[in-house]
Amino acid sequence: MPQLSILIPAHNESDRIGATVTAIRHVAEHSGLTWELIVVDDGSTDGTADIAQAAGATKVVRLRQRRGKGAALRRGLAEATGEIVLLVDADLGDDAASLGALLRPLLDGVADMAIAAPPPDPHGGGFGIVKTFSAWAIRTLTGFQPTAPLSGQRAVRRTVLERITLADGYGVETALTIDTLWAGVRVVEVPIGFRHRALGKSWQGFWHRAKQLRDIVCALLPRLARFTAQILRRKLYRRKGGE
């Protein structure tokens, strides 16, 4: 059984998946751990799966239809067997080589989930609305103040992932942070330099961020309901205790 499972969800990433797989293989080969590298092709139509396989993925799972990032990760986790799971976005390219730093907090026993926190993008993206909203939700529901609430680059103990259910779509990162903190998991952020494909203030960028916001809201609704119910129960308990 491998000690490390690297999991990459990908949709139409033929231009970057090869470089991403090559770079993260380098990380795995120098980690000192036994490993597997799983790419979940989320209904791609551009040859993403074939390129990932040629680049050295140990397993490529092909989904016939696009089901979204959360579903792709859940499918990949069903295949993964490692004690530590390293989640990697498909569009990092050569920058994926920097993610080895995420393993150290888990190997040293100081954290159960490590999140890569990149520096601010000097070229700018959107207006920061989605990131600000996600950070507010995490802080409000858990007290944890994230600097990279949307980061998909994470090292997580398998035992942690077995205790929760990953949310759908692009809400997966926000919900994962909330759920792990609620479960008493030790979470740290690790400053790491990496960049995604730049969408900027193009219509594609705004459309992508609109879908992110939609998915985050959908993931938050049941968690907000649970949080509110807990507060109401505590108030009721205190009120009865004072009677």
pLDDT in tens, 15-73: 999 999 999 999 999 999 999 999 999 999 999 999 999 999 999 999 999 999 999 99
CA dist list (Å): 59 to 5, 53, 145, 185: 11, 7, 36, 29
Mean pLDDT of 177-181: 97
Rounded to whole angstroms, the Cα distance separating 154 from 156 reads: 6
Give the SS3 label for residue 191. Answer: strand
Res 205: pLDDT? 66
The CA R_g of the chain, rounded to the nearest whole Å, is 18
Q: Which two tokens stand for residue 135?
A: 């950070």
The residues near 57 (Cβ < 8 Å, ≥ 6 apart) are 8, 21, 37, 38, 39
Can you give the pLDDT at residue 193? 86
User: Whole-number mean pLDDT of the chain?
Assistant: 92
Is pLDDT above 80 for 144?
A: yes
Query: Could you tell me the domains of the chain?
Result: 4-241 (3.90.550.10)
Structure tokens at 10: 């990908």
- pLDDT beyond 70 at 182: yes
DSSP result, 5-57:
EEEEEESS-TTTHHHHHHHHHHHHHTTTS-EEEEEEEES-SSSHHHHHHHHT-
Question: Per-residue confidence at 194, pLDDT binned at 50, 70, 90?
Answer: confident
Tell me the mean pLDDT in the region 146-170: 95
- The percent of residues in the chain predicted with pLDDT above 70, rounded, is 91
Nearest C-alpha neighbor of 219 from the set 109, 70, 107: 70
In this predicted structure, the answer to whether residue 148 has a pLDDT above a threshold of 90 is yes
DSSP letter for each residue of 93-146: GGGGGGGGGGHHHHHTTS-SEEEEEPPP-TT--S-SHHHHHHHHHHHHHHS---
**Predicted confidence (pLDDT) per residue in 87-129, tens digit:** 999 999 999 999 999 999 999 999 999 999 998 765 555 578 9
Alpha carbon distance 152, 81 (integer Å): 20
Which one, of 58, 98, 97, lies nearest residue 81 by Cα? 58
